[in-house]
Structure 1
Amino acid sequence: MAVVPTTDIDMFATSDQRARYEQYRQLREVGAVVRLPGLDAYAITRYAEVKAALADHVSYISGEGVGFNSELNQLIRGTTIASDPPEHDLLRSVVGPGLTPRVVRARTEEIAQKARSLVAEVVSRAEIEGVAELAEAMPMSVIPDFLGLPDRNRDQLYEWAKVGTDMLGPVTERTPHNLEMAALSFQFNHELAANREVAPGSICDDMLKAADRGVIPREKCPLLFIDYLGPSLETTAAAIGHLLVVFAERPDQWAALRAEPRLVGSTINELVRFESPFRGFTRVAAHDTELGGVTIPRGARVWPLTASANRDERKWEHADEFDFRRNPIDHLGFGYGTHGCAGQGVARVELHALIHALLESVERFELTGDPVIAENSMVNTYAEIPVRLVARNAA
C-alpha cells in the first residue's frame, strides 16, 4: 500500500463555493484518499472511491456521529443519519411508509398547486430576494404539512434547520448562536412529542405510533422529528437558490429548457450534481480498510466528499460546466447506499413542480445584485439572491 498523501488545506476556511470547488480539485489531484491533519480525518475525494465508501456501511460506520463536532456527534447518535444497521433499518422502516413513491405521488398535484401559487406571487412582484421569497418558501409550504407539524413556530423552523447542518462542522464563531437555536428546536420538538401535537396520519404521527407499539423508544421521537425536518428544508432550498443563479448566468440554457420541458428531470440531476447542496457526512472506519490504494486505520474519521465526487473529471466530461441535457442519473448529491436520502422523492417532486411553474411564467432571470453566500460549514447555499423574474408576457 502507498503512503497516504497529506495536505494542510483548510477545508473550513471559507463558505464560498468556488473556493471550495478549487479545494476539491486540489484534493483530487493529491489523491483519492487524503489525510487532513488539521481535522484528524481522511478526505475521500474522487467519485469511484466516494461511492465505494458510501456503499460499504460495514467498513465505514455512521453510528459514532457524522460530523466534526464531538458533542453534536454524541447528541445525534441513534438518529437515522447517525446509526448503522440493524438500528438504522428499523428507524427507516418507521418513517419509510410516509415517503414511499405511492404516497408521494398522491400529493403531487397538491405540491404542484403550491408551486404555481408561489410562482404567481413572486412573478407579480418581479424583483425579489430569491432565498427568502422563493428558495425557502417552497419547501416551507410543503414539508411542515408533510411531517404533520402544527402552525406554531413555523416562522422559526428554517432558522433551526440551518444551525443543525452548520454545527456538524468544527466549532466557529457561529457556534454560540447555533447552540441557542438548537436548544429552542429541541424544546419545541420535545413538546410536540410529549403533547402529540402532530397531525393524525402524518410522518411524525407514524413515529409516535411506532413508539406506542414499542418499536422505537419514545425518547427518540423528538430527535427523529429534527432528523427529517432540517435536511428536507435546507437542501431543497439550497438547490432552488442555485437554480436561480445558474440560469440567471446561463439565459441560453433557460431558453432551451423552456423549449424542452421534458428535460426537467435531467435538469434536476444536473443541478444537484453541479451545485451539490451538501458537502458530505463523515463516517468512522470500523477496521483497517484499503481504499484508493492506501490504508485507512481503524477508528479514523473519514469524509466522503460527495460535492467533490460530483465534480470529478474522471467521472464527468467537462465536470465544471453546467449542461441541463447531461442527466447524470448516478450523481451522489442525494447520497448513496444505506444512508441515501430518504426524502429525495419529495425533494424531486418539489423541484419538478417549481421548475415547471417557472418555465410557464418566467422568460428569464436577471440578477439585480451579487448573490450573498451563506456561512455554513457543511452546506453549499446562499443567504441572499437579489433577482428579477421577467414574466413571459412582459418580455
Structure 2
Amino acid sequence: MSAPGSTANGVPHLDVDPFDMNFFADPYPTHELLRETGPVVYLDRWKLYGVARYAEVHAVLNDPATFCSSRGVGLSDFKKETPWRPPSLILEADPPEHTRTRAVLSKVLSPTVMKGLRDRFVAAAEERVDVLLEKRSFDAITDLAEAYPLSIFPDALGLKPEGRENLIPYASLVFNAFGPPNQLRQDAIARSAPHQAYVTDQCQRDNLTPGGIGACIHAHVDEGAITATEAPLLVRSLLSAGLDTTVNGIGAAVYCLARFPDQWRRLRSDLTLARNAFEEAVRFESPVQTFFRTTTRDVELSGATIGEGEKVLMFLAATNRDPRRWDKPDSYDITRRTSGHVGYGSGIHMCVGQLVARLEGETMLSALARRIAKIEITGEPKRRFNNTLRGLDSLPVTITPA
C-alpha cells in the first residue's frame, strides 16, 4: 500500500488492490485509507474510480441516470466486452427496462407474500434448532447459515429437490464474476458449466412447482408484463439474490453474536430485537462488499471530475462503517438505528432478495435466542474468499441449551 499521489483533476491516486487475497483477509485498514484519502480516489491497479464514504456512495447509488448499471455492475464494461452470461434484467439494467421487470419481482416478493411464507419459515427455523440442539457442536456455516435457507427458500421458489447442491456454488460464481480477471474469477467461471446448466434448466416454467414464487413470475408472461424469454432470467435473479445475501447474512449474525456475548444476552432478553440484530450484522460485516457503476456522462462528484464511460467502484462495506455517518461504527450494537445502511444497496437497485433475507434472518435468530443460552466459537473461523462477497466458509461452535 503506497501513499496517495495526486493528479490534475484533484483526485488522489492509490496503489491498492481491492481484489487481492491480503485485502480480503483484512479489508478494514484499506477501507479507512480509502475513506480518509478523499471523497473520490483513483485506483491505478484497475484504472477505476473508488468511493468509500457514505455521502458519495449514497449519491452514486441514487443517481442511476448518471451512474448506470446496464454496462455491468462488475469491472467488465458491457459496452466494450461480451458478458460471461446473459445480463441480469434486474441488476444489470437501467430504467425504463429495469422498472418494468422490477415491478414483477416486487409483486411476487411483496410484504403480503412474505407474510404468507412466515409460518413456514418459522417452522423450518425451529426444526433446524432441534437438529442443532441434538448436535451441540457443529459448523455454524454448513449446518446453520447454509442449511436453513436451503431447507426453505428453494421450496418457496418451487425448485425440484434434485440438484440443489448447485445453488450456493452458482451464487458464489455470480459474485466472483463481478471482479477482475483474477484467479478467483477464472476458477469460478472454469468450474461453472454444471451450475449454470442446472440453474438455466430450473428456471424454465415446466420445471417449477405450481404456486411457487417461480411459477408466479412466469404467470406474468400471460398478462403481458414480461416476455417468455425474460421470465426464466427473472427466476434466475432470485436464485442468487435470495440465497447469497441470506446465507452470508445469517453467518455474519451468528459470528457477531458469538463474539459479542453481551449482545447475545441482550437479544435473549428481548426477542423483538431479532430483526435488528440481523440488520446490524449486515451493516457491520457487509456480506456484499462492493459494486460497480459506469458513468454515462462527465460528472462532478464532491469536487472530483469523472469522465464519461469510467468505472466507479463503491465500497459498500467501508460506507457501512463510515464515522461521518455512524456513531461508533466498529461496534456491533443490536439496538442501533440501522436504517440507511447500504448492505443491500440503495435506490432503485436495492437487493431484490432483501425481504427474504430479513424474514429468514429474523426467524432464525429469534428461534436460536429463545432456545440457546450460549454460543461459543470452538475452532478457527475460515473465510470464504470471493471478489464481491465477504463471508465465512467454516465457523465451529458449541451451544448450550437454555
TM-score grouping bracket, smaller chain normalisation: over 0.9
Question: 2:36 matched to 1:26?
Answer: no
Matches within 5 A, 1:276-355: 276-355=286-365
4+ runs deviating over 6 angstroms: none
Partner of residue 107 from structure 1, selected from 114, 117, 129: 117
**In structure 1, distance between residues paired with 2:326 and 2:24:** 19
User: Amino acid of the residue matched to residue 63 of structure 1?
Assistant: S
User: Amino acid of the residue matched to residue 347 of structure 1?
Assistant: A
Find the residue that maps to 2:85 and give its secondary structure. helix
**In structure 2, distance between residues paired with 1:169 and 1:387:** 32
Question: 2:60 matched to 1:50?
Answer: no
User: Amino acid of the residue matched to residue 184 of structure 1?
Assistant: P
Question: 2:254 matched to 1:247?
Answer: no
After superposition, the C-alpha distances for 1:236-295 in whole angstroms (9 at most, x for unaligned) are 111111222212211122112211222223212211111111012211001111112211
User: Amino acid of the residue matched to residue 39 of structure 2?
Assistant: A
- Tell me what 2:156 maps to: 146
Find the residue that maps to 1:258 and give its secondary structure. helix
Question: 2:127 matched to 1:117?
Answer: yes
Find the residue that maps to 2:324 and give its secondary structure. coil
Cα deviation, residue 187, structure 1: 1.8
Identity score, percent: 32
**In structure 2, distance between residues paired with 1:238 and 1:334:** 12
**In structure 2, distance between residues paired with 1:156 and 1:185:** 5
Structure-2 change in CA distance of 1:269 and 1:78 (3 Å): closer
Cα deviation, residue 233, structure 1: 0.9
Question: 2:95 matched to 1:88?
Answer: no
Matches within 5 A, 1:1-395: 3-14=10-21, 19-69=26-76, 73=83, 75-194=85-204, 196-212=206-222, 214-392=224-402
**Paired residues, number:** 392
Cα deviation, residue 112, structure 1: 0.6
Comparing 34-43 and 192-201, the one that deviates more: 192-201
In the alignment, structure 1 segments of 5+ residues that lack a partner are: none
Comparing 318-327 and 63-72, the one that deviates more: 63-72
After superposition, the C-alpha distances for 1:299-344 in whole angstroms (9 at most, x for unaligned) are 0011122111101011111111111111211111111100011221
**In structure 2, distance between residues paired with 1:79 and 1:38:** 30
Structure-2 change in CA distance of 1:254 and 1:69 (3 Å): same
After superposition, the C-alpha distances for 1:341-375 in whole angstroms (9 at most, x for unaligned) are 12211111111100110011111111111100001
Structure-2 change in CA distance of 1:199 and 1:301 (3 Å): same
User: Amino acid of the residue matched to residue 198 of structure 1?
Assistant: L
CA contact (8 A) 1:189 1:225 kept: no
In the alignment, structure 2 segments of 5+ residues that lack a partner are: 1-7
Structure-2 change in CA distance of 1:315 and 1:73 (3 Å): farther
User: Amino acid of the residue matched to residue 343 of structure 1?
Assistant: G
**In structure 1, distance between residues paired with 2:224 and 2:271:** 47
CA contact (8 A) 1:49 1:291 kept: yes
| Larger RCO, structures 1/2 (Cα 8 Å, 6+ apart) | 1
